[in-house]
Amino acid sequence: MQQSKIRLSGQQADPEFFRFEERGELDYELVLDVLHGRRLGVIFRDVIPTAARKELTERFWASPARQHREGEPSHYVGAYHWNKDADTYLDESAEVAEHVQQVIDAPNSPWHEFRQGVDEALRQEGASLRVARMNGRSACAALIRAWDKEGDFSLDPHEDEAQCKDPRQAGFEIQRVLDHQICAVNMCTEHSAGGRLVIWNIRPDDATRRSLDIELTGLPYQAEALADFEELRLDIREGDVYAFNGAFVHAVDANTGNRTTVSFIMGFTDPRTVVSWT
């Protein structure tokens, strides 16, 4: 007997919200719109200088801290908080901190420029951006990663909200972001072909997560169930920087060659503080 398809429940956005703004230069007020939940996402085209892309990518591939991860993505420098207790994540973040800085401290670094711009925009409303902390220990500043996984998706459909509910991370300030919006930030420094960002108009609820047994991981969502919802597919190219609400299910479709990005997640913990982690 054929098993019935699981139907996803949660919030869907109206058409005016469910779209990306595109700009040819950085506009940090648009990023603040994502942080405040006023828009789904924004993509800034070709804003990373060519020399900076090349230098940062070369530093990534040459890093002695680069690791291989089974599945997706294939290679990374940094630390994942996903599916770990807080101490493990913070230990890993400390171990790799100098190596991460070595990569992102490239001349004209998009990581530094973007964060400085967001922080200056936040200060106009009495807030600021910093790396998340717990008991005097810092989260990872950035996750630099590359993947070329075969199949329908290079990065499987997932959302970034569920993983912030993990009770093993109780007391870690990133859990307070759940009262606000989760903003995923990606800076593309190397890209061959394919690898579009795919985002579906569904922000799953806990009932859906429980039915899929992914309440604390947010991964994976099946393409068959997502077919019920409107989707956006955005071409991503070298030099692009994009930010979007990571609570909506999203993925990266198949690509050839390497797709290398500098990434982090950020969100308000209170009206005066935005924190980031990986």
DSSP H or E segment with residue 8: none
- Pairwise CA distance, residues 42 & 59, whole Å: 27
CB distance 47 to 41 below 8 Å: no
Instruction: Identify the three-state secondary structure at position 71.
Output: coil
C-alpha 131, offset from chain centre:
14
Name the CATH code of domain 10-277 (choices 3.60.40.10, 3.90.1170.50, 2.40.440.10, 2.60.120.620): 2.60.120.620
Strands 75-77 and 143-147: antiparallel
Q: Tell me how far CA of residue 180 lies from CA of 34, 160, 247, 275, in angstroms.
A: 11, 13, 11, 12
pLDDT mean for each 10 residues of the chain (278 residues): 69 97 98 98 98 98 94 87 97 98 97 98 98 98 88 90 97 98 98 90 97 95 95 96 98 87 98 98
What are the extents of the domains in the chain? Answer: 10-277
Query: For position 71, what pLDDT does the model report?
Result: 67
Listed residue (140, 144, 145, 64) closest to 97, CA to CA: 140
CB distance 243 to 185 below 8 Å: yes
Rg of the Cα atoms in the chain: 18
